[in-house]
Amino acid sequence: MIETKNLYKTYQMGDVKVEALRDVSLRIAAGEFVAIMGASGSGKSTMMHVLGLLDRPDSGEYFLGGEDVTKLTDKELALVRNQLVGFVFQQFHLLPRMTALENAELPLIYAGKRHLKERAEKELEGVGLKDRMLHRPNEMSGGQQQRVAIARSLVCDPPIIFADEPTGNLDSKSKEEIMAILKELNKKGKTIVIVTHENEIAVHAKRVIMMRDGQIISDKAVSKETTAPKAGSLRPENPVRDILSASGSRVKGGMEFLDYLKQAVSAMLSHKMRAFLSILGILIGVAAVIAMLAIGQGSKESIEKQLASLGSNLLVISPGATRSGGVAFQAGTTTRFTFQDVEAISKLTDSVKRVSPSVKSRAQIVYANKNWNTQVEGVAVDYAELRSCVPTIGRFFTQEEVKMRNKVALLGTTVVRELFGDANPIGETVKINLINFKVIGILPAKGSSGPMDQDDTVLIPITTAMYRVLGKQYIDSIYVEASSADTINTAEEEIDKLIIKQHRLITKDQQESFHIRNMADIKKTLESTTETMSLLLGAIAAISLLVGGIGIMNIMLVSVTERTREIGLRKAIGANNKDILVQFLIEAVLMSIIGGLSGILLGSGIAMLVVVIAGWSVRVSTYSIILATTFSLAVGIIFGLWPAQKASELDPIEALRYE
């Protein structure tokens, strides 16, 4: 069953090299009960670890069932440990968060045989723990814990049992009970190899090997009694090759995703505070992303709404201040617009679509016993389409009403609220500067633009405003809509030349006596500012998420350190590097997903709270939810990968020795 030839193993202890094994050759037949003895530092434990495939020799050959296992990969060694070898440790190495039954069935999980759970129950019954299966290790005595460890070593029915000081931490009664179990296993055909320094334990063995300074100094049989291997207890002639061939690339011998998930959840529940802190970091980061992007998106839409209220492809022409002989004159002194200017601009049909003159002033508007001071603006018919002012209720005035200087008015929603409350104002009569006007429409709500309320306004025909209400002879400004976005610059140039020609503006000072504002440029500036603000808010939130990711990495690194011996145990009973990697990675991803989903709820709640408290415009978009979820998942994978990789690369014996 076991044959070693010229094994050497050296450890580097600081500047000193310690030869743990020196030219060790050994043969152990199937069905033997062997005790390896020696003083501390004699090399007996190292011998056990090499024989049990937990450690590799520096040189020499080791044949297990006829196969040279020194040439196997780590993945193949893990499979062989799981199927052919059972371990019983002095420190028991039971996972504290698991019951006795869960501890006993761990090897089945790594063998892909979780469905054979009754086998673990059977082995626990066999070691006298039928009534303690659902108890955790801290609820058991040392002898009971060691029995659980023995049941765990037997659950995959391995032909070889290695026991490293199995009675070292037990009282006399428990020692006898454990040795009785091992002897019974040997009678059933199991090959038993124990390491001990106690003579009273060694006497139970049928063969005693003494070691000193890394060498075998004696090897003698203490009993002539032999145990024939139980029929069917051994694999074929080459059990190692048989296992590897049957399992291939560990298709049959691997964990399923649900097993990984259960192990990860179990680890998280056993360290609730640590998991909560990791989740909290991601939760805050995702909530920040959702809330920030919601505020940014809401602000963007609010600005876009205000921009839409300006009208599309809009030019605004207004008189400006000028200088003459070093004297500054007020706006409108040099250039004053008239209806002839409006008519001339409207004839630029290749580049101009609509034109509307405008005059403005503050006025007192009265209805019944209520009054309100508001802005009154006189405009033309095209103003409705040009400035997106088509009434939501009622109608706009007609060209005939402009021509006849009719006293009709359209009210902004703020004016309607202040004068009429919830009543319908259509058809009612209001006084503007003591002149009666009939209300024919309600303007669409546009909201505030800075300190100015765009809904606090009244529109009346421009002729009525100029000649009946405000007493103006000249137009304050002219709104022009270009025929398309491509022609807006052409329209601006043509209008500029037209006004200079119409008003005979010769000098540079005179030519600067009016202004043409291109609202498309203002739109672009505002849109660019909004995009920058959204990116800035998103970047700040992303930094929060990044910090949360670093927190997960730190917690997972701490977890790897705290659970080093657990990792060693898992590897000793059959877990390979991939099993450990995937389990730790799933833990990190799971915490990120939980944090991400919680963060989405919290971020959405914060966004809604901002609406209620501050009255800001916010919108939680599907894009921001997908972005935050994807980002949190990526954080879990990226920041969890290094700790998981570090855990998977731990050497099993070094991990088991970790303090």
Q: Residue 172 maps to which CATH number? A: 3.40.50.300
Q: Do 125 and 228 fall within a single domain? A: yes
Q: Please report the pLDDT score of residue 417 as a whole number.
A: 93
| 420-447 exposure pattern, b = at least 16 Cβ within 10 A, e = fewer | beeeebbeeebebbeeebebbbbbbebe
Q: Do 224 and 280 fall within a single domain? A: no
Q: Do 600 and 466 fall within a single domain? A: no
Q: Please report the pLDDT score of residue 102 as a whole number.
A: 86
Q: Please report the pLDDT score of residue 95 as a whole number.
A: 84
What's the structural domain count of the chain?
A: 3
Q: Do 432 and 564 fall within a single domain? A: no
Q: Do 148 and 240 fall within a single domain? A: yes
Q: How far apart are CA 383 and CA 309, in angstroms?
A: 12
Q: Do 567 and 642 fall within a single domain? A: yes
SS3 track for 81-131: HHHHEEEECCCCCCCCCCCHHHHHCHHHHHCCCHHHHHHHHHHHHHCCCHH
Q: Please report the pLDDT score of residue 509 as a whole number.
A: 67
To the nearest 5 percent, what fractions of the chain are helix, strand and coil? 50, 20, 30
Q: Do 291 and 195 fall within a single domain? A: no
Using CB atoms within 10 Å of the CB of residue 363, give its burial: 0 to 12 exposed, 13 to 18 middle, 19+ buried: buried
Name 267's Cβ contacts closer than 8 Å, sequence gap at least 6: 97, 559, 563, 583, 587
- Kindly state whether residue 103 falls inside one of the protein's structural domains: yes
- Kindly state whether residue 463 falls inside one of the protein's structural domains: yes
- Kindly state whether residue 383 falls inside one of the protein's structural domains: yes
- Kindly state whether residue 593 falls inside one of the protein's structural domains: yes
Q: Do 49 and 186 fall within a single domain? A: yes
- Kindly state whether residue 257 falls inside one of the protein's structural domains: no
Q: Please report the pLDDT score of residue 110 as a whole number.
A: 81
Q: Please report the pLDDT score of residue 331 as a whole number.
A: 47
Q: Do 426 and 553 fall within a single domain? A: no
H helices of 135-256, in order, are 142-154, 172-187, 199-202, 239-247
Mean pLDDT by 10 residues, the chain (659 residues): 89 80 90 88 86 88 86 84 85 84 85 76 86 89 87 87 83 84 87 87 88 89 62 56 62 61 79 80 79 77 64 80 48 72 90 93 93 95 90 94 96 94 93 94 81 88 94 92 85 89 77 77 71 75 73 75 81 83 83 85 85 74 78 77 80 74
What does the DSSP assignment read for 9-33?
EEEEETTEEEEEEEEEEEEE-TT-E
AA identity, residue 120: A
Q: Do 47 and 143 fall within a single domain? A: yes
Contact between 448 and 480 (Cβ < 8 Å): no
Structural domain for 434, as ranges: 336-504
- Kindly state whether residue 321 falls inside one of the protein's structural domains: no
DSSP secondary structure letter of residue 43: S
Q: Please report the pLDDT score of residue 356 as a whole number.
A: 94
Q: Do 390 and 499 fall within a single domain? A: yes
- Kindly state whether residue 650 falls inside one of the protein's structural domains: yes
Q: Please report the pLDDT score of residue 449 as a whole number.
A: 61
What is the value of pTM for the model shown? 0.61
Q: Do 530 and 637 fall within a single domain? A: yes
- Nearest one of 642, 641, 650 to 566, comparing CA atoms: 650
- Kindly state whether residue 21 falls inside one of the protein's structural domains: no
